[in-house]
Amino acid sequence: MHHSTVLHFTALFCSAFIIIYVLYVTPFLANELRPQRHSYITQDSLRNSHETMHAYRSFQVLHANTMCYCGMFLAILNAILMLSSIYSYFTLIGYWKTLHRFSKAQIFIWGILGNGLWLCFLEIGLHLQTFSSRTIESWGRHNWGGENRNKIMSKFQKASKPIVFGWGKQSVIRKASLFIFQKGITRGTVRLLLTYRKS
């Protein structure tokens, strides 16, 4: 019981931390570090070449340190939610005739909620990567106030990489992540049902 409580609190803390982190970082990547926008909430000095490079590198360091601790949690959570969705759909389809109505509704709601919430998070992670990519691209179209500054920012732009959610090089949220997650649930459920019927 004690270990279960600690695990739940850890999961809740990591989830809350990631949500707050995303809400904090997204406005800066989508708007504040991108030149020639209509409105900003920070001072204009943040949009000069030196401050922009310093701010983006700071975000990269912050994100790398965050993913060292939360990236593993995201990878494990992805596997847990996929397996729980597979189990929910398998139970619902395989034992449809024997389950009570309340149990059917409970399993269905749990499967849809777990699946839907995680798909929303994957979509948010994908948008964060898109925002950072567009911000990096916008630096190449902006005049930073001199030929030397433009050359420095051009080199910095080529050296900069988008900020992505993930753990290591394999468990990274990409464009295909939503499809892979849904494909894994569908494949796993079908294989379980086929195995169940054969036995």
SS3 77: helix
What's the average model confidence in pLDDT over 22-40? 80
pLDDT for the residue 3: 47
Q: Is the pLDDT of residue 2 over 70?
A: no
| Number of domains composing the chain | 1
Pairing of strands 171-172, 166-167: antiparallel
For helices 49-94 and 177-198, give the axis angle rounded to 10 degrees.
Answer: 20
Q: Counting beta carbons within 10 angstroms of the beta carbon of residue 161, is it exposed (0 to 12), middle (13 to 18) or buried (19 or more)?
A: exposed
Q: Is the pLDDT of residue 68 over 60?
A: yes
Q: Residue 10's pLDDT band (boundaries 50, 70, 90)?
A: low
Q: What is the pTM of this model?
A: 0.74
Residue 116: domain span? 2-198
What is the overall mean pLDDT for the chain?
81
Indicate the DSSP class of residue 30: I
What is the average pLDDT across 17-40?
A: 79
Token pair listed for 46 = 């943040």
Among 9-13, 20-24, 88-92, 188-192, the least confident range? 9-13
pLDDT at 4: 47
Q: Cα dist. 43→33, 39, 40, 53 in Å?
A: 11, 11, 8, 15
Per-residue pLDDT, averaged over 46-51, amounts to: 84
* Residues contacting residue 27 through CB under 8 Å, at least 6 positions apart: 41
Query: Given a cut of 50, is residue 149 above it in pLDDT?
Result: yes
| 94 close to 134: Cβ distance less than 8 angstroms | no
Residue 57 has pLDDT above 70, yes or no: yes
Question: pLDDT tens for residues 93-141?
Answer: 888 888 888 888 888 888 888 788 788 888 888 888 888 888 899 888 8
Q: Counting beta carbons within 10 angstroms of the beta carbon of residue 35, is it exposed (0 to 12), middle (13 to 18) or buried (19 or more)?
A: middle
Per-residue pLDDT at 150 exceeds 70: yes
> Is the pLDDT reported for residue 19 higher than 80?
no
Query: What torsion, rounded to 10 degrees, do the Cα atoms 85, 194, 179, 174 define?
Result: 80
